[in-house]
Structure 1
């Protein structure tokens, strides 16, 4: 039995997937199976992958397109390893990625999932600054950004199976956020290694540049309508509905001063009590809410809805908590 199962979900991956696959087969750590999960590609992806001959490769092709969350769930059911790693079809793993992440989990049995920083390449360059520790990773989930890089993660498969954890096919794009939140609520502990171990390709056809915003907003509503009241127990129903709009672009919020006042009242209520039973940082949760709120304020200022005298009133509302 392999120690590690590596999942490579593919769909119309073009030429990028060949480079991805080469990076996986060149890993310094070799005790793994590679599950290539093709979601009914129609651009020759399956044929490109068929040219690779390596005993570690297991290929699966869906008869019809089922979507990424369901494709991942199929892979998790097929996996035979102790650990499960995820790689996106347009990214590349640096040569020591699996070696360093497996070694980390072997030496840190209390940690459930370990990620790493990302090195951007292709259209952009740079390295992410994701938090290393569990408490801040969980707090950043409140903001929905800069917590874990999904394509860099390696976790304990027995934990996922023990809690029947799966990716939600009703979530568009943010199925990974929903999955990690479910892991958190079942007692998972997270970490990010400080160095980049995955190269993240920035290109014009990547999912984040071709989003359906209506579907994305509906998915975020589904996640945070459940998540926010758990972390902020004094948050009332109508206040939660106000805060859900923080996960939209300012131009897609109700563009009234009254809505901004309601947001400040709701944020004040939320931060009056923070439940940290899942190990998240209280100050980090507070900062996540403030970052969302400040982003909305800046957007309203840019749209000409919020003037300096309004900002003073809003500050007084929030500071009175």
Structure 2
């Protein structure tokens, strides 16, 4: 490829077979042709090495590392990229045929956007769809708020401004599991972020994924990232409990916060966010409610698991009630049970009618 491509795709891989072939094929068959595929082979020892070296497409650039790790591989890719528009994909995921085209057009039309995600399916090792990610968050303000609690974007489905990432120092090695979340929060502090409500990626879920194998270390890194992110957004805000708020949202036990402090952190965060962006659009208010709902249920779970210590259980239950998820009340619980009983009775009656008809 003699000219500079409009998009550089970074594909890190370590022993990516048997999924790697499908992934590469999904990229080389894109409707958008003006891109380079930078394959970053991080010390693979499987048959994928021969496959990668045999690719005859002149858009493919192969780089071999000697087991340097994901962050080092990605930073090498950033240094080698000839385009300022960078796309990511993992060696076990599949890009929809129009993914690069749709994301590139959006970034061209929105120069202030520094990070763009997309909706996606989750698939199993055989490629079967196991869930549809119910994407409801696409606007800058909503995504920016959601980043306080999780990575929000699927890393292999993003496209971003390479120049901005290089100015930020690239991927940081101290976040070897949560490198994506760290990058997303830093980009959100530099420009607009967005997400296309189109399923442009099939994200493979299997036991060997790094995020699953090293989940606990990733959660510890991410809780610190969340605290740093909120501190950068609101320098005068006491964000010391935000890390525990993040852990609770993820269903983990806070490290040092009391239920009251976690509740206070959330309320203060929402108040600061509302003051800065007043009036808040409806999708942001909806996001507030969704996060509050999840935190309320996590508090309720903590109360149930703490019954051996009545004082602690009561504190978690009080916090759960104050978070006020819509269906936490006893009345709502009774209504749900009645609905379930009605559905079961209806299904039983239908089966009986079917047997009689036969």
TM bucket by the smaller chain?
0.7 to 0.9
Quote the Cα distance in structure 2 between the aligned partners of 1:171 and 1:126.
28
What is the SS of the residue equivalent to 2:46?
coil
TM-score normalized by the length of structure 2: 0.76
| Farther off after superposition, 77-86 or 122-131 | 122-131
1:264 aligns with 2:263: yes
Structure showing greater radius of gyration is 2
Q: How do 1:1-321 residues align onto structure 2 when only pairs under 5 Å count?
A: 1-62=4-65, 64-122=66-124, 124-130=129-135, 131-145=137-151, 147-161=152-166, 163-186=167-190, 188-213=191-216, 215-232=217-234, 235-236=237-238, 239-240=241-242, 242-243=244-245, 245-246=247-248, 249-250=251-252, 252-253=253-254, 259-274=258-273, 276=276, 283=285, 286-287=288-289, 290-291=292-293, 293-305=295-307, 310=315, 313-314=318-319
8 Å contact kept, 2:296–2:321? no
Quote the Cα distance in structure 2 between the aligned partners of 1:238 and 1:137.
22
8 Å contact kept, 1:235–1:266? no
Q: Would the alpha carbon gap of residues 247 and 65 (structure 1) be closer, same or farther in structure 2, given more than 3 Å must change?
A: farther
Q: Would the alpha carbon gap of residues 142 and 239 (structure 1) be closer, same or farther in structure 2, given more than 3 Å must change?
A: closer
TM-score normalized by the length of structure 1: 0.84
Once the two structures are TM-superposed, the CA of residue 231 in structure 1 deviates from its matched residue by: 3.6
Give CA-to-partner distance per residue, 1:21-75, whole Å, 9 cap, x none: 111111111111110001111223222211211111111011x222112211110
User: What runs of 5+ residues in structure 2 fail to find an aligned partner?
Assistant: 325-358
Quote the Cα distance in structure 2 between the aligned partners of 1:249 and 1:217.
10
Give CA-to-partner distance per residue, 1:250-276, whole Å, 9 cap, x none: 3x4469xx8223322343444443374
| Farther off after superposition, 106-115 or 91-100 | 106-115
User: What runs of 5+ residues in structure 1 fail to find an aligned partner?
Assistant: none
Q: Would the alpha carbon gap of residues 315 and 151 (structure 1) be closer, same or farther in structure 2, given more than 3 Å must change?
A: closer
8 Å contact kept, 1:87–1:152? yes
Quote the Cα distance in structure 1 between the aligned partners of 2:250 and 2:121.
27
Question: RMSD of the alignment, in Å?
Answer: 3.0
Quote the Cα distance in structure 1 between the aligned partners of 2:204 and 2:239.
40
Q: Would the alpha carbon gap of residues 193 and 265 (structure 1) be closer, same or farther in structure 2, given more than 3 Å must change?
A: closer
Once the two structures are TM-superposed, the CA of residue 193 in structure 1 deviates from its matched residue by: 1.4
Q: Would the alpha carbon gap of residues 22 and 313 (structure 1) be closer, same or farther in structure 2, given more than 3 Å must change?
A: closer
What is the SS of the residue equivalent to 1:49?
helix
What is the SS of the residue equivalent to 1:112?
strand
User: How many pairs are equivalent?
Assistant: 310
Quote the Cα distance in structure 2 between the aligned partners of 1:201 and 1:242.
29
Q: Would the alpha carbon gap of residues 231 and 25 (structure 1) be closer, same or farther in structure 2, given more than 3 Å must change?
A: same
8 Å contact kept, 2:120–2:202? yes
What is the SS of the residue equivalent to 1:38?
strand
Quote the Cα distance in structure 1 between the aligned partners of 2:222 and 2:241.
16
More RCO (CA 8 Å, sep 6+): 1
Quote the Cα distance in structure 2 between the aligned partners of 1:25 and 1:237.
45
What is the SS of the residue equivalent to 1:143?
coil
8 Å contact kept, 1:268–1:318? no
